Amino acid sequence: MTTLRRIAHVRSGDKGNAASLSVIAYAPEFYPLLIEQVTAARVAERLGAAATGPVTCYRVDAIEALNFRIDGVLGGGVSRNRLLDVYGKSLCTAMLDLPVFVPTALTPLLAGPGDAPALLAGSWELVAYRRRQHGETLFPFGPDARGWISYTGEGRMSATLCERARPPMRKPVDARWNGDRDELAAAAASYLAYTGTYVVHEDRVEHLVEACSYPNWIGTTLTRWFDWVEQDGDMLLRLVTAPPERDDARELVSELLWRRWQQPGGGA
């Protein structure tokens, strides 16, 4: 017998006037255990008075996750920021200590304190990139920007963002070295890429930048708070440049949504 924290990651969120909890298996072998043991009835029992309404479970097989909708928690117009600050941590803490049975054959896979990167490992394709400030939403690379971010199991990462429609240069051969200055400037303004190492904490990931198309970021640490958002049956990874509980409309905050990349035909 062990606890949920050793086989899955738990994140809180909101869905309208309902709270949500995402329980994501650290390894594919643990997903059947989640389905069998982490049921809606058991979650409701575990949360007790914190779950003031029905608890509904949705399976997200593509990423070996269970998503629980907890109705009634956000009655009275409580904002998402307050949910994450007041309810989120208590809901997650209660769930992480949920007892679960793990067969002896799977015990070598049990996660320790340093295994959180397993959640992010892999490649992700950009779904949306936007910035918010003073109540205005901006799209730095347009509303249909393209992008990819990858995290390796060895602790390295790389990210690429660009406009979807980038016109070719008039000089296709060696244009990047002797092209027109305006063309070179436009190409640089429509593209961002960097690479380095990363460190995962409970609610944020730090990107330690070693090389970057924007030289000012080289040698810096970019902190991205992460959580999970359900959209069209997928569980998306959300990265933001400010912690969710900090609610300052004047602050420029970037938000990026990512979907785990899969090969055509559904293979990982």
- HEC string of the chain? CEEHHHCEEEEEEEECCEEEEEEEECCHHHHHHHHHHCCHHHHHHHHHHHCCCCEEEEEEHHHCEEEEEECCCCCCCCCHHHHHHHHHHHHHHHHHCCEECCCHHHHHHCCCCCCHHHHCCEEEEEEEEEEEECCEEECCCCCCCEEEEEECCCCEEEEEEECCCCCCCCCCCCHHHHCCHHHHHHHHHCEEEEEEEEEECCCEEEEEEEEECCHHHCCCEEEEEEEEEEECCEEEEEEECCCCCCCCCCCCEEEEEEEECCCCCCCC
Q: Summarize pLDDT for 85-129 with one digit per residue, the tens.
A: 556 667 777 788 889 998 888 877 776 544 556 678 889 999 999
Assess if residue 266 is contained within a domain. no
Residue 194 and residue 160 share a domain:
yes
What average pLDDT values come out for the chain (268 residues) when binned by 10 residues? 82 70 85 92 82 82 85 53 58 82 80 60 93 85 95 91 87 65 84 94 88 95 86 81 60 88 61
Which pLDDT value is given to residue 78?
47
Residue 236 and residue 135 share a domain:
yes
Residue 133 and residue 253 share a domain:
yes
Q: Please give the torsion angle defined by the CA atoms of residues 93, 37, 225 and 84, in that order, rounded to the nearest 10 degrees.
A: -50
8 Å CB contact between 65 and 229? no
Number of domains in the chain: 2
The domain of 30 spans 2-109
Residue 155 and residue 231 share a domain:
yes
Which pLDDT value is given to residue 199?
87
Domain boundary among the residues 109, 138, 155 is at: 109
Residue 253 and residue 125 share a domain:
yes
Which pLDDT value is given to residue 268?
47
Residue 197 and residue 167 share a domain:
yes
Q: Summarize pLDDT for 227-243 with one digit per residue, the tens.
A: 877 777 677 888 998 76
CATH number of the domain where residue 216 is located: 2.40.128.280
Assess if residue 246 is contained within a domain. yes
